[in-house]
C-alpha cells in the first residue's frame, strides 16, 4: 500500500510543503517547487503595488499541480488574521488556510491566545485551518479539539535554519495528535527534515532553507529525498538505542586458541 498523507480528506503523496518567499526569481521558485515534488505551496497576501501592478507571482505556479495554501502572515492579532483569511478565500475560492499570528517582528513567534481565538472563528466559517504554533502540546491539543486540520509546530524561529530545537515538545505533540503534525519553520538542512520525519511528523514545511540556498533547485531535491528517507525510516521502525555495544559480527568462531 502506498503511503499517503491525508489532510481534511485530501490525499498528498508528498510530505514536503514549500513556502514561496525569498526566491531570487519566479523562475527559480517554479523550478524549485517542481524539483521538491511538493503538492502544496504557501503564499502570502499583500497590497498591490499601484506603481508596479503587473508583478504577479501566481502566474508562475501551476494551480492544477499545486494546492495553494494562503497564509495570514503579517497578522498581529486574531482580527487581522480573520480578515486576511476571508480575503484569501475570496482570492483563491478555496478554504485552505495557514493561520499565523505573529505580533513580535524580531523572533516572529506565534501568539497562542490569538491563534486559538482566530482558529475558533475560522473553523466555524468552514475554513480548513492549518495553524502555525509554538511547539506547545497543550495548545496543539486545544486546536485539534476545536477542529483544525493539522497542527504546525515550529522547529525553531522562522528562517533561522537552526533545526529541531523543540524536539522534545514536538514528540509529545506527535504522541497525542489526532490530526497530522506538520513541522514548520526553522528546518535548515535536509538532515533536520529527515530527523523530524523519523520522529513521526506527518510532513514538513520548508521555505528559507531552499529559497536562499546556493542552488535552490538542488536543495529542493535534497529535501525531497530527506523527507522520503525520514518517512521510510519511521515506517520501518528504529531498532532502538543502547548504552553498550551489540556486536554486528558473530562472537563465536574466532581464529584464536
Q: Which residues contact 197 (CB under 8 A, 6 or more apart)?
A: 15, 204, 226, 227, 229, 230, 231, 233, 234
19 makes contact with another protein (CB under 8 A): yes
Give me the phi and psi of 31, to 5 degrees please: -65, -35
Alpha carbon distance, N-terminus to C-terminus of the chain: 52
126 near 148, Cβ under 8 Å?
no
Cα–Cα distance for residue pair 197/60, rounded to 1 Å: 29
Options 2, 27, 98, 242, the catalytic residue: 98
Q: Rule CB under 8 A: say whether 223 interacts with another protein.
A: no
Please say if 64 is a catalytic residue: no
Q: Which is nearer to another protein, 137 or 156 (CB)?
A: 156
Residues 6+ apart with CB under 8 A from 209: 161, 187, 188, 189, 219, 223
Q: Which stretch binds another protein (CB under 8 A): 65-73, 114-122, 141-149, 229-237?
A: 65-73
Q: Give the binding-site size for another protein (rule: CB under 8 A).
A: 35
Residue 133 sits in the site that holds another protein (CB under 8 A): no
Q: Which is nearer to another protein, 54 or 244 (CB)?
A: 54
Q: What does the buried/exposed string (b/e) look like for 208-241 if buried means 16 or more CB atoms within 10 Å of the residue's CB?
A: bbbbebeebbebbbbbbebbbbbbeebeeeeeee
Compare residues 76 and 86 and give the one whose CB is closer to another protein: 86
Contacts of another protein in 25-54 (CB under 8 A): 29, 42-48, 50, 53-54
**Stretch 171-210: interaction string toward another protein, x if CB under 8 A:** --------------x-------------------x-xx--
Can you give the binding site for another protein, defined by CB under 8 A? 19-23, 29, 42-48, 50, 53-54, 56-59, 68, 70-71, 73, 86-88, 90-91, 158-159, 185, 205, 207-208
Amino acid at each position: 500500500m502506498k503511503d499517503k498523507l491525508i489532510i481534511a480528506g485530501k490525499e498528498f503523496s508528498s510530505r514536503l510543503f514549500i513556502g514561496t518567499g525569498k526566491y531570487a526569481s519566479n523562475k527559480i521558485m517554479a523550478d524549485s517547487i517542481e524539483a521538491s515534488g511538493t503538492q502544496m505551496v504557501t503564499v502570502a497576501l499583500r497590497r498591490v503595488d499601484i506603481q508596479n501592478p503587473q508583478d504577479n507571482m501566481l502566474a508562475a505556479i501551476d494551480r492544477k499541480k499545486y494546492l495553494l495554501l494562503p497564509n495570514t502572515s503579517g497578522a498581529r492579532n486574531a482580527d487581522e488574521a480573520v480578515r486576511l483569511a476571508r480575503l484569501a478565500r475570496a482570492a483563491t475560492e478555496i478554504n485552505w488556510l495557514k493561520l499565523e499570528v505573529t505580533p513580535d517582528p524580531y523572533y516572529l513567534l506565534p501568539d497562542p491566545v490569538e491563534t486559538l481565538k482566530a482558529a475558533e472563528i475560522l473553523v466555524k466559517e468552514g475554513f480548513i485551518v492549518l495553524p502555525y504554533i509554538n511547539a506547545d502540546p497543550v495548545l496543539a491539543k486545544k486546536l485539534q479539539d476545536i477542529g483544525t486540520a493539522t497542527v504546525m509546530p515550529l522547529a525553531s524561529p522562522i528562517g533561522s535554519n537552526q533545526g529541531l530545537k523543540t524536539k522534545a515538545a514536538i514528540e509529545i505533540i506527535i504522541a497525542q495528535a489526532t490530526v497530522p503534525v506538520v513541522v514548520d519553520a526553522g528546518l535548515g538542512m535536509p538532515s533536520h527534515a529527515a530527523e523530524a520525519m523519523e520522529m513521526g511528523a506527518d510532513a514538513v514545511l520548508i521555505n528559507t532553507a531552499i529559497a536562499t540556498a546556493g542552488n535552490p533547485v538542488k536543495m529542493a531535491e535534497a529535501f525531497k529525498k530527506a523527507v522520503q528517507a525520514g518517512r521510510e525510516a519511521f515506517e520501518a521502525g528504529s531498532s532502538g538505542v543502547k548504552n553498550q555495544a551489540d556486536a554486528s559480527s558473530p562472537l563465536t568462531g574466532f581464529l584464536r586458541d
